[in-house]
Amino acid sequence: MDSKKVAQLARFIQYVIGRRPDEFGLVIDAQGFIPVSDVLQVLHSEGWPHVRRNHLETLDFHLGKPTLEIRAHLLRARDRSRLVPLRETVALPKLLHVPVRRRAYESVLQHGVRPQGHTGKVVLFADPALAKKVGQRRDPQPVIVTVNVQAAREQGEAFQQFGETIFLANQLPSACCRLPRPPKTIRPREVEQASAAPVPKTPGSFILTVDPFEDKSPGKQPGARRQRSKDWKKKRRQARRWKENQNKAP
């Protein structure tokens, strides 16, 4: 990238992780870190599809000043002075939304929503569209759990707010969670292959299939008898000629 593109990328990243990560469905942990993979997904969806981790790692070198701090799979902005912190809140909407993977459906149904991710908290969204967008980063068809906030508070759950539309909780019991209809399960490839095998229409029986076949044994091939007859006659004629020649000899 040229210097102009590098400067534009740096400004955008600074806004995403150093000012308003909540606008993009991102949440910082207690030290201000966000997963690198989440930041890259946001960049790709916001017009920077070519950016990779190595671009982030060399950004400080190209700018000539410290901008990002990367530790293993997490990163944070060096300048976090304008970052909105987590805060306690009581002004909560009636309903909040949590995206979960399809394979977690039964677990949520039985045990509720448990903490996940780098924050160690359950992340909830006031906007269901944003919840779906965030959920699609981990599952193409996420399950959106609707949470009754009043029911959760009655069971002793407290909430923190991050930005304008993101909230965090320690856990959510199943009694306050409403799930949509169960998603269609994705069968493993081997199951699909097994199901492709023909199944008898009548249980406990089998169907005979009559196909034309050829007996390829030497004595049963088409025309073999005719060929043997010709060979026998040829050998008989040769023997007769040989005998006639012997009789003509002086």
pLDDT value of residue 195: 47
pTM of the predicted model, to two decimals? 0.71
Q: Which residues contact 140 (CB under 8 A, 6 or more apart)?
A: none
pLDDT value of residue 239: 75
SS3 content of the chain, % helix, strand, coil (to 5): 40, 15, 40
Query: Of the candidates 47, 60, 62, which has an alpha carbon nearest to the alpha carbon of residue 2?
Result: 62
pLDDT value of residue 212: 47
Q: Which residues contact 178 (CB under 8 A, 6 or more apart)?
A: 145, 146, 147, 148
pLDDT value of residue 206: 52
pLDDT value of residue 213: 46
Structural tokens at position 90: 């009581």
CA atoms within a 13 Å half-sphere pointing along the CA-CB vector of 8: 10
> Angle at CA 40, nearest 5°, toward 3 and 33?
100
pLDDT value of residue 45: 94
Secondary structure (3-state) at 100: strand
- Distance separating the N- and C-terminal Cα atoms of the chain: 109
Q: DSSP secondary-structure letter at 1?
A: -
pLDDT value of residue 50: 94
pLDDT value of residue 116: 85
Which element (helix H / strand E) includes 53? helix 53-57
Please check whether residue 112 is in contact with residue 173, taking contact to mean a CB–CB distance below 8 angstroms.
yes
Please check whether residue 166 is in contact with residue 124, taking contact to mean a CB–CB distance below 8 angstroms.
yes
The residues with which 34 forms a beta bridge, in sequence order, are: 75
> At the top level of CATH, which class does the domain 87-178 belong to?
alpha beta
pLDDT value of residue 201: 53
Measure the CA–CA gap between 39 and 54, rounded to whole angstroms: 13
CATH code 3.20.170.30 region(s) in the chain:
87-178
Query: Of the candidates 4, 75, 72, which has an alpha carbon nearest to the alpha carbon of residue 34?
Result: 75
Q: Does the domain made of 3-77 have the CATH classification 1.10.10.970?
A: yes
CATH code 1.10.10.970 region(s) in the chain:
3-77
pLDDT in tens, the chain (250 residues): 788 899 999 999 999 999 999 999 999 998 999 999 999 999 999 999 999 999 999 999 999 999 999 999 999 999 999 998 889 887 899 999 999 999 999 999 999 999 988 999 999 999 999 999 999 999 999 999 999 999 999 999 999 999 999 999 999 999 999 999 988 765 445 434 544 555 555 555 555 555 544 555 555 555 656 666 667 677 777 777 766 766 665 5
